């Protein structure tokens, strides 16, 4: 997938952020992420692989659980929604403390700037994440996710 349109965004130390303009309304894009059952539809990392439990539509404080696979090993992760602004922002926290954040900024009708952020500044294992290369790996996954999202609406 081409990633030429995906831009690096500086959000400070221990935050990996990328952004892209998508030809779709913010509400439609937001709805994909507010429904945890659709996370696999947008995941570019290839780690979201299976069943999801939790509410049909996430809200602040909700917990949801997703089957994942990394390096061939299956696992299940339960995250908690830590920020939620309907149609604009959703963020969830991993049990190790890092956060995944999505921002949707509709810049014109049907044109939305989508920014995804892997924020490990609050992670209890931040140094371990760095030593094992997760920031770079997650940057690749974010780029692929945003490229895929953009290409669906061309």
* Neighbouring-strand partners of residue 108: 111
Mean residue pLDDT of the chain comes to: 93
Task: Flag whether 126 is in a domain.
Answer: yes
Task: Flag whether 112 is in a domain.
Answer: yes
Task: Flag whether 2 is in a domain.
Answer: no
Q: Residue 28 is part of which domain span?
A: 7-152
Mean pLDDT of 20-31: 97
Mean pLDDT of 13-18: 98
Task: Flag whether 84 is in a domain.
Answer: yes
CATH code of the domain in which 14 resides: 3.30.530.20
| pLDDT at position 51 | 79
Task: Flag whether 125 is in a domain.
Answer: yes
Task: Flag whether 83 is in a domain.
Answer: yes
Tell me how far CA of residue 135 lies from CA of 13, 19, 30, 68, in angstroms: 11, 16, 24, 18
Tens of pLDDT, residues 88-120: 999 999 999 999 999 999 999 999 999 999 999
| pLDDT at position 2 | 52
Q: Dig out the tokens for 16 from the structure.
A: 């990996």
Residue 13: exposure state from Cβ atoms within 10 A (0-12, 13-18, ≥19): exposed
Q: What's the CA gap between 47 and 27, in Å, rounded? A: 25
Structure pTM? Answer: 0.94
Q: Dig out the tokens for 32 from the structure.
A: 């994909």
Distance of alpha carbon 38 from its chain centroid, rounded? Answer: 12
Mean pLDDT of 25-53: 89
Domain count within the chain: 1
Q: What's the CA gap between 25 and 32, in Å, rounded? A: 12
Task: Flag whether 53 is in a domain.
Answer: yes
């Amino acid at each position: 997938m081409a990633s030429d349109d995906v831009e690096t965004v500086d959000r400070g130390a221990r935050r990996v952020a990328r952004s892209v303009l998508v030809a779709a309304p913010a509400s439609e894009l937001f709805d994909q992420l507010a429904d945890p059952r659709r996370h696999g539809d947008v995941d570019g990392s290839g780690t979201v692989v299976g069943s999801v439990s939790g509410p049909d539509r996430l809200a602040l404080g909700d917990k949801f659980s997703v089957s994942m696979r990394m390096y061939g090993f299956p696992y299940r992760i339960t995250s908690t929604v830590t920020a939620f602004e309907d149609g604009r922002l959703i963020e969830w926290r991993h049990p190790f403390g890092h956060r995944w954040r999505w921002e949707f900024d509709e810049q014109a009708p049907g044109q939305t700037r989508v920014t995804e952020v892997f924020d490990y500044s609050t992670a209890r294992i931040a140094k371990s994440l760095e030593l094992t290369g997760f920031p770079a790996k997650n940057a690749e996954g974010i780029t692929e996710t945003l490229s895929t999202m953009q290409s669906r609406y061309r």
